[in-house]
Amino acid sequence: MNDIIVQKYGGSSVANIDKIKKVAKKIVQKAKEGNKIVIVVSAMGNATDELIKMAQKISRSPSERELDMLISTGEQVSIALLAMAIHALGWKAISFTGMQAGIITNAVHTKAKVTTINQEKIKSALEEGKIVIVAGFQGIDANGDITTLGRGGSDTTAIALAAQLGASRCEIYTDVSGVYTADPRIIPSARRIANISYDEMAEMASLGAKVMHYRAIDLARNYKVKIIVKSSFTPGEGTVIKEADTMLEKFVVRGVTHETNVGKIVVQEVP
């Protein structure tokens, strides 16, 4: 088959050693089907939040450059452990930091944007039959400094790699089995959406849907990267995010989103 498939596993998918081992088995099974696999991994569980808390105990306003240096280490732990887990299953794998993977960004620390990707090391490793594991959320700027991509950064890393490598699809693995009409953790009767357009998904993401960040959806739309959102823990077809099908006078409600971090202030009886 020899298709390139990019898979992204979020922090909940690699939160502990048992989960990392399960993810490794899933990845090796996909590789056995004849695919070239590139994996993007987030930091384990809440590791990034814990690193930020540590920084804030040192300084209330830490240097953004040094903060990037610190929080980028979370992904280095998860990529190394995942590579070891794949080795233990008898398969070749290699882990790359964002810098080693050739991910070049602008110099805006803590919210950098990817400008280009030097694909040579990744393509060389794929040709050697290795599963490539890339640290999400990070890159390097023109000065050689480590940068991080901000919220949704690992999704953005995965989509950017899929676009640059010409991958057949980008599979996003999370703790829910696709995109739902509402958050299934809040509304148990919510239904999985089989297919959704980039525009619809970007709108839902911008209004509070947590499955993917709207920045990654915008990037996928620009480069026409096919996305499949699946659960790391349960089998299923997931949700396909792609260009909209041609529709004539077909308007439907696709889903309901919510945002909890919103406050309301009412001022009354102001003279």
**Reduced to 3 states, what is the DSSP secondary structure of residue 144?**
coil
Dist CA 63 CA 188 (whole Å): 43
Residue 247 within a domain? no
Tell me, what CATH number does 233's domain have? 3.40.1160.10
Q: Which amino acid is at 249?
A: E
pLDDT of amino acid 267: 56
CA-to-CA distance for 91 and 85, rounded, in angstroms? 9
Whether 120 is in a domain gets the answer yes
Mean pLDDT per 10-residue interval, the chain, length 271 residues: 89 96 96 96 96 96 97 97 98 98 97 96 97 98 96 94 96 90 83 92 80 89 95 90 67 50 54 57
| pLDDT at residue 1, rounded to an integer | 52
Q: Which two tokens stand for residue 96?
A: 């790359």
pLDDT number for residue 233: 87
Whole domain around residue 172: which residue ranges?
Answer: 4-242
Give how many domains the chain has, as a whole number: 1
Alpha helix locations (H) across the chain? 17-32, 47-58, 64-71, 73-88, 120-127, 153-165, 198-206, 214-223
Q: Which pLDDT belongs to residue 114?
A: 96
Model pLDDT, residue 253: 47
Strand order in the sheet with 114-117: 114-117, 103-105, 138-140, 146-148
Decide if 22 is inside a domain: yes
Determine, yes or no, domain membership for 122.
yes
**Dihedral (Cα; 74, 77, 80, 81), 10-degree rounding:** -130
Strand bridging mode 114-117 / 103-105? antiparallel
Note whether residue 259 is domain-resident.
no
- Model confidence, pTM: 0.88
Is 262 inside a domain boundary?
A: no
- Flag whether 48 is in a domain: yes
